[in-house]
Amino acid sequence: MQYNWFTVEKIDAQTFAISEYKHWEETHCYLLLGTERAVLIDTGLGVANIRKVVENLTDLPVTAITTHAHWDHIGGHKYFPNFAVHEDEVTWISEQFPIPLQVVKKNLTLKPCEFPTGFCLEEYQIFKGNPSSVLHDGDFIDLGNRTLQVIHTPGHSPGHCCFYEQDRGWLYSGDLIYQGCLDAFYPTTDPLAFMYSAQKVKTLNLQRIFPAHHSLDIPASLACEIADAFASLYRLGKLQQGNGVFDFGKFQIHI
């Protein structure tokens, strides 16, 4: 289902992927419906109004929850008065994002892209706001006959979280697990913590993984492969920033 800038893919009757395939980062957001309320996991770049898409899919009250407070995941938070972020990134979203705006804009336009009508790069700002709630490791989010567990998985950023549906064995993995280049080279990243986080989620009963970028069709076994790749770099003494990009076929690790 195409909504100009966004593409909506139905995972099941209560779950939708809302994707920005026209941008090189191919960011995915996920709308999860319960019987009482809904959550939107991440809100994308914010270059188009994702709330209009959400309102076409549900009339439940919606809270935006955040895998991490990077610009490509919180841009649409401005359309949702209720949003949540992990405790370690509250100041990132409410006070000062640690990466300069000019760096973010350069990343936004890194590859050619036909942005939606009405978007103005000169006016683009990194979202700033006060969360209506704060996430902690181990929290449970009850949607009504559907529950998500917050799993703190730092490394890509200090407050990065995955969201786990134990009943389904579904993991919404943010920037921890996906097919593409996994980034742990920014000053705000931590390659060692990234490794431990990958090891943490690989122990879960994973039936499906829903990543924040690129292909939606990834095997659950990718979590183990990424954890093992980080462990191999650690054993080789390569898990320090500045060592470059390591190619593992399905994915790369940039440290």
What per-residue confidence (pLDDT) applies to 3? Answer: 75
pLDDT of residue 10: 98
Mean pLDDT of 62-80: 98
pLDDT at residue 2 is higher than 70? no
pTM recorded for the entire structure: 0.97
Q: For residue 1, what pLDDT is reported?
A: 72
Q: What is the mean pLDDT of residues 100-117?
A: 94
State how far the Cα of 254 lies from the Cα of 185, in Å rounded to an integer: 6
Instruction: Catalogue all structural domains in the chain, each as residue range(s) with its CATH number.
Output: 2-178+209-218 (3.60.15.10)
Q: How far apart are the first and last CA of the chain?
A: 37
What is the tens place of the pLDDT at every residue in 177-186?
A: 999 999 999 9
**What pLDDT is stored for residue 161 in this prediction?**
98
Q: What percent of the chain has pLDDT over 70?
A: 100
- Give tens-digit pLDDT for 128-165: 999 999 999 999 999 999 999 999 999 999 999 999 99
In 3D space, the residue among 30, 12, 67 whose CA is nearest the CA of residue 210 turns out to be: 30
**Contacts with 249 (C-beta within 8 Å, 6 or more apart), sequence order:** none
Task: List, for residues 83-101, the tens digit of each pLDDT value.
Answer: 999 999 999 999 999 999 9
- Which DSSP string do the residues of the chain spell out, in sequence order? -EETTEEEEEEETTEEEEEETTSTT-EEEEEEE-SS-EEEE----SSS-HHHHHHHH--S-EEEE-S---HHHHGGGGG-S-EEEEGGGHHHHHT--SS-HHHHHHHHTSS---PPTT--GGG--------SEEE-TT-EEE-SS-EEEEEE--SSSTT-EEEEETTTTEEEEETTS-SSEEE--STT--HHHHHHHHHHHHTS--SEEEESBS-S---TTHHHHHHHHHHHHHHTT--STTS-EEE-SS-EEE-
Name the average pLDDT for the chain. Answer: 97
Segment 191-226, tens digit of pLDDT: 999 999 999 999 999 999 999 999 999 999 999 999
194 neighbors 174 (Cβ within 8 angstroms): no
| Cα–Cα distance, 11 to 18 (Å, whole number) | 10
pLDDT digits (tens, 9 = 90+) for 31-48: 999 999 999 999 999 999
| Mean pLDDT, range 105-121, rounded to an integer | 94
